[in-house]
Chains A and B, each alone.
Chain A
Amino acid sequence: LKGQRPISSFFFVK
Chain B
Amino acid sequence: YQTFDGDLKWNNKDVTYRILNYSPDMESSLIDDAFARAFKVWSEVTPLTFTRLYDGTADIMISFGKANHGDPYPFDGKDGLLAHAYPPGEGMQGDAHFDDDEFWTLGTGPAVKTRYGNSDGAMCHFPYTFDGKTYTTCTTEGRTDDLPWCSTTADYDNDKKFGFCPSELLYTIGGNSNGAECVFPFVFLGETYNGCTTEGRSDGYRWCATTNNFDQDKQFGFCPSRDTAVIGGNSEGEPCHFPFTFLENTYTSCTSEGRSDGKLWCGTTASYDKDQKWGFCADRGYSLFLVAAHEFGHALGLDHSNIQDALMYPMYKYVETFSLHEDDVEGIQYLYGPNPDTKPPKPTTTPSPPGPTPETEPTEEPTRKPTIPTTPHPVDPSADACQMEMFDAITEIQGKLHFFKDGQYWKMTGKDHKGLKGPYPMADMWPALPAVIDTTFEDHLTKKIYFFSGTRFWVYTGQNVLGPRTIEKLGLPSTLSRVEGAVQRGKGKVLLFSGENYWRLDVKAQIIDKGYPRYTDLVFGGVPTDAHDVFLYKGHTYFCRGRFYWRMNSRRQVDRVGYVKYDVMKCP
The answer to whether A and B assemble together is no
B-binding residues in A (CB < 8 A): none
A-binding residues in B (CB < 8 A): none
